[in-house]
Amino acid sequence: NFDLIYNLFDKYKLCKEDRKELLNIVKPILYHDEFQKRFTDDFLHHNKVTLGEHIIEVAIETFIISKRQKTNIDLELALNIAMMHDLYSISWHKKDAAVDNFCNKHAFRHPVESVINSANWFPKIFEKSDSYKLVDGICHHMFPVPVVSFKDSKENNLELRNFDLVRNLSEKTKRQLEISTNKNLYSTMLLRPSKYKEGIIVSNADKLVTANNLKGSNFNILKEMVIGEKVKGNAKTLKKAKEKR
């Protein structure tokens, strides 16, 4: 995995000092067993790019954008959001990721799963950071795609694939999830960007990386990402796109 990471560092032309600074911040997340799983074929993300590779690339892009900002940016917060933004439980390529309710499809649901997993796996980061900014940045990284509204920690109405981990969340984190994803008592989804500049930077970085990874792909690829299911005939289209590269 480190060969892959250093190849990405070369791709983005990061100097030695920047590489060291970035790695020092992200290593508590990067070295975690659950994160390492995201580098395997069990977690393919866009085309043949693994989820781990995608997240690292978003973190690098976040680092670069943050360094260019004239206003003060909490770099550690921004990189934590980047490293946690897609830590959902099951690859959307798998049949197990399919759900019944359209509003619970992958694109709308996975930010909430990512918060739940991250809070369980990295409690120390949630304790020491401005945790609401962290939660809000993860929840709204898909803007302008809405996020499902988390309301009930007793019933799995959102068809979360890690609902069993909700019980481990602190009341504070549950409340932060509710505040970040609800407009009112009746909302089922919320469409807004993150309230904080660090979250907005990660959202922009994610779009830049995703657009680059999806070059040559068609509309069906985007449709697959939203519905979390394979679209018929897409494999052939994907093969042709790769041959053109």
What's the average model confidence in pLDDT over 212-232? Answer: 65
Burial of 209 per CB tally in 10 Å (0-12, 13-18, 19+): buried
Sequence-ordered list of residues with C-beta below 8 angstroms from that of 126, at least 6 positions apart, any chain: 118, 119, 134, 173
Q: Considering the entire predicted model, what is its pTM? A: 0.90
What's the pLDDT score for residue 245? 41
- Per-residue pLDDT at 118 exceeds 60: yes
Quote the mean pLDDT of the chain: 89
Is residue 186 very low, low, confident or very high in pLDDT (cuts 50, 70, 90)? Answer: confident
Residues sharing a CB contact under 8 Å with residue 9, sequence separation 6 or more, in sequence order: 19, 60
Distance CA 78, CA 121 (A): 18
